[in-house]
Amino acid sequence: MQIFLGLLFAAVIAAVAYRARALDVSGAVAAWVVGTVTFGLGGWPFALPLLTFFTSSTLLSRWRRHSKEALGFEKGGRRDSGQVLANGGIATLCVLTYAFLPSTISHHAYAMYLAAFAAANADTWATEIGAAVGGVPVSIVTFRRVPVGMSGGVSLTGTLGLVAGALVIAVYSLIFHPSTVLGAMPAALGGMSFWHP
């Protein structure tokens, strides 16, 4: 029954995302597969972080779009299957680990799942907020000023976006595994392990 609900739930989300021009055809199919596995095998504890990532990244990519275009930086547009799998592929493997492998291996699958989406969310929030709000980005290698949106460039606003993006996903550890505050640490640190603009 859960798998059937996952199929329906993922199909609705993928269709809405396609209609909203957030995904192309291949992206919608990939999102349907990822969503089916995630909700069908993991339930709401796994589905909610995925929805949080997808919704927030879609909204942020459209926030101040004209300002980003004026700067020559625009990461928005329809996402394809490659982008969907780049952001959700590792997390989907964590769901499969949780569902099918022995508990001695799958015990930490949820923390790894959250860390994967925390990293994806942190990267997106850092890039989109850094580009939208502005600031003075510098190269993480040379510490010299670089254009907004350039790979390897970091700024204060982007770094704050990175931390916020990771923490938003890490909070789910406290919601679904509230036995210890330290439960959110692996996800938060996993998300912050990439420093972007």
pLDDT at position 76, please?
A: 52
pLDDT tens per residue, range 108-162:
888 889 888 988 998 888 888 877 777 777 877 888 887 766 667 778 888 888 8
Q: Are 147 and 72 in contact (CB under 8 A)?
A: yes
- Average pLDDT, stretch 16-36? 92
Question: What's the pLDDT tens digit per position in 29-88?
Answer: 999 999 999 999 999 999 999 999 989 988 888 776 666 555 555 555 688 999 999 989
pTM of the model: 0.81
Instruction: State residue 180's pLDDT score.
Output: 46
The pLDDT value given to residue 53? 93
List C-alpha distances in Å: 22 to 14, 27, 28, 79, 91.
9, 9, 9, 6, 20
Strand partners, 20: none
Residue 90 backbone phi and psi in degrees, to 5: -65, -40
pLDDT at residue 172, rounded to an integer: 87
Phi-psi category of residue 155: left, alpha or beta, with phi > 0 → left and psi -120 to 50 → alpha: beta
* pLDDT score, position 196: 44
